[in-house]
């Protein structure tokens, strides 16, 4: 996920819970699809299924927006599309700049889903002089020197950062100084920004690591289940992925032992899914 937003009491602002806000785009997408099929109304049950959420949750979410449904019937699709769009601020135009037009930045620039929802790529900015003027997605790349001018002249308040991690903080500072108050950061770094500026991050690496964690846990459970017959029931497969935990020098032991030998790793690895996967070196970042 991309999470983010610098901490904030969240209170105040009479408004909608953060969790609900994060789901509104999901509802909107489902509703738009229904709208295109000229479906006039939907029940909370149907819409919830389409959006992949619980229907009670959906109704509660909508209740924060007001009472837009009709009991016994459901919600008017078109009306709800409008209400959610308005709530999200999509009834206005949001110029956006993308900074760092490399592999990812170029892909983003070419992405059609941008303009589909009221967002407009106002400019593409890169520090590489060789890129300046070069057209990407039918739009000339502009040099970082003009960043402030571009932000200011276009009234940009949302910036997307797709530069290398090392440049991200500095780029964010320039964007903010120029007037940007919302940043979507693709660089794998924690951005430090002043209050009042929202930052959301998208980090591929983190997503994969979270998946790997669950994958490992699943493999562990599988191994445990296979090992002790098949009487799973509710075994509560301890987190430590089984073996490796207890074995490794217990807690409180002298920490100085830098890298420990990957003990029971073999077990978990062997328990992997089907497929002749013999090797498995203990690859480790350092």
Ligand X SMILES: NC(=O)c1ccc[n+]([C@@H]2O[C@H](COP(=O)([O-])OP(=O)(O)OC[C@H]3O[C@@H](n4cnc5c(N)ncnc54)[C@H](O)[C@@H]3O)[C@@H](O)[C@H]2O)c1
Partner DNA sequence: ATGTCTTTGTGAACGCGTGCACAAAGATTG
Partner DNA sequence: CAATCTTTGTGCACGCGTTCACAAAGACAT
**Cα–Cα distances in Å, from 243 out to 220, 224, 233, 255, 268?**
9, 10, 20, 20, 9
Check: CB of residue 2 under 8 Å from CB of residue 201.
yes
Region from 34-42, 85-93, 119-127, 258-266 binding ligand X, contact rule CB under 6 A: 119-127
Q: What's the closest the beta carbon of residue 266 comes to DNA, in angstroms?
A: 25
Verify binding: residue 160, ligand X, rule CB under 6 A. no
Which region, judged by CB under 6 A, interacts with ligand X, from 4-12, 21-29, 104-112, 217-225? 104-112
Say which entry of DNA, a copy of itself, ligand X, none residue 59 contacts (CB below 5 to 8 A, set by partner kind).
DNA
- Nearest distance in Å: CB 204, a copy of itself: 7
Q: If binding is defined by CB under 7 A, does position 13 make contact with DNA?
A: no
Does 2 participate in binding a copy of itself (rule CB under 8 A)?
Answer: yes
Question: Is 11 among the residues that bind DNA (CB under 7 A)?
Answer: yes
- How far apart are CB 238 and DNA at their closest, in Å? 16
* Residue list 49-78, contact with a copy of itself (CB under 8 A): 50-52, 54, 64-68, 70, 75-76, 78
**Which of 32, 35, 43, 157 forms a contact with DNA (CB under 7 A)?**
43
C-beta atoms surrounding 88 within 10 Å: 15
Q: For residues 209-268, which are near ligand X according to CB under 6 A?
A: none
Extended strands (E) in the chain? 41-42, 69-70, 74-76, 94-99, 119-126, 135-136, 139-143, 158-161, 182-185, 198-201
Tokens 């002298």 belong to 254
Q: Which stretch binds ligand X (CB under 6 A): 58-66, 79-87, 95-103, 192-200?
A: 95-103
**Triad 186, 22, 108: Cα angle to 5°:** 30
**Would you count residue 159 as binding ligand X (CB under 6 A)?**
no
Q: Which does 225 bind (CB under 5 to 8 A by kind): ligand X, DNA, a copy of itself, none?
A: none
Give the C-alpha separation, 72 to 190, whole Å.
48
Site for a copy of itself in 130-169 (CB under 8 A): 151-158
Q: Is 280 in the site for a copy of itself (CB under 8 A)?
A: yes
Is 221 an interacting residue with respect to a copy of itself (CB under 8 A)? Answer: yes
**C-alpha distances out from residue 108 to 100, 164, 241, Å:** 10, 15, 38
Measured over the CA atoms of residue 52, residue 57, residue 61 and residue 66, the dihedral's sign is positive
d(CA 130, CA 132) in angstroms, rounded, equals 6
- Cα distance between the two ends of the chain: 25
Give the pairing type, strands 119-126 and 94-99.
parallel
Q: Closest approach of Cβ 109 to ligand X, in Å?
A: 8
Size of the site for ligand X (CB under 6 A): 27
Q: Choose among 242, 243, 276, 248: nearest CA to 260.
A: 248
What tokens were used for 50?
Answer: 């389409």
Residue of 39, 204, 210, 211 that binds ligand X (CB under 6 A): 204
The correct pick among 121, 141, 147, 269 for binding a copy of itself (CB under 8 A) is: 269
């Amino acid at each position: 996920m991309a999470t983010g937003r610098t901490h904030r009491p969240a209170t105040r602002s009479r408004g909608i819970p953060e969790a609900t806000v994060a789901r509104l785009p999901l509802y909107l997408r489902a509703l738009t699809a229904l709208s295109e099929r000229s479906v006039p109304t939907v029940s909370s049950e149907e819409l919830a299924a389409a959006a992949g959420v619980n229907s009670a949750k959906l109704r509660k979410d909508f209740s924060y927006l007001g009472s837009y449904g009709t009991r016994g019937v459901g919600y008017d699709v078109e009306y709800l599309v409008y209400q959610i769009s308005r709530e999200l601020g999509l009834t206005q135009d949001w110029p956006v700049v993308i900074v760092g037009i490399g592999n990812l930045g170029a892909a983003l620039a070419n992405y059609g889903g941008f303009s589909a929802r009221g967002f407009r790529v106002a400019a593409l900015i890169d520090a590489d002089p060789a890129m300046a003027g070069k057209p990407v997605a039918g739009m000339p790349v502009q040099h970082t020197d003009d960043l402030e001018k571009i932000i200011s002249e276009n009234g940009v308040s949302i910036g997307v950062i797709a530069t290398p991690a090392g440049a991200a903080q500095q780029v964010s500072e320039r964007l903010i100084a120029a007037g940007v108050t919302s940043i979507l950061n693709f660089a794998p770094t924690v951005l430090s920004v002043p209050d009042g500026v929202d930052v959301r991050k998208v980090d591929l690496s983190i997503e994969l690591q979270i998946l790997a964690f669950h994958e490992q846990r699943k493999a562990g459970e599988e191994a445990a289940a296979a090992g002790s017959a098949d009487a799973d029931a509710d075994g509560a497969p301890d987190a430590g992925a089984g073996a490796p935990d207890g074995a490794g020098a217990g807690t409180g032991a002298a920490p100085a032992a830098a890298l420990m030998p990957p003990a029971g790793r073999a077990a978990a690895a062997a328990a992997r899914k089907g497929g002749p996967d013999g090797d498995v070196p203990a690859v480790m970042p350092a």
